[in-house]
Amino acid sequence: MDRKLLDLLVCPTTRQPLQRLDSGALTALNAAAAAGTLRKADGSAQAQPLRDALTTRDRRLAYRLDDGIPVLLAEEAIVTAGIDGFPQA
**45-72 pLDDT tens trace:** 999 999 999 999 999 999 999 998 999 9
Q: Which uninterrupted H or E stretch holds 26?
A: helix 23-35
| Contact between 3 and 18 (Cβ < 8 Å) | no
pTM beyond 0.75: the answer is yes
The rounded Cα 88 to chain-centroid distance in angstroms is 12
Helix, strand and coil content of the chain, in percent to the nearest 5, comes to: 25, 25, 50
Residue 3 has pLDDT above 90, yes or no: no
| Contact between 62 and 55 (Cβ < 8 Å) | yes
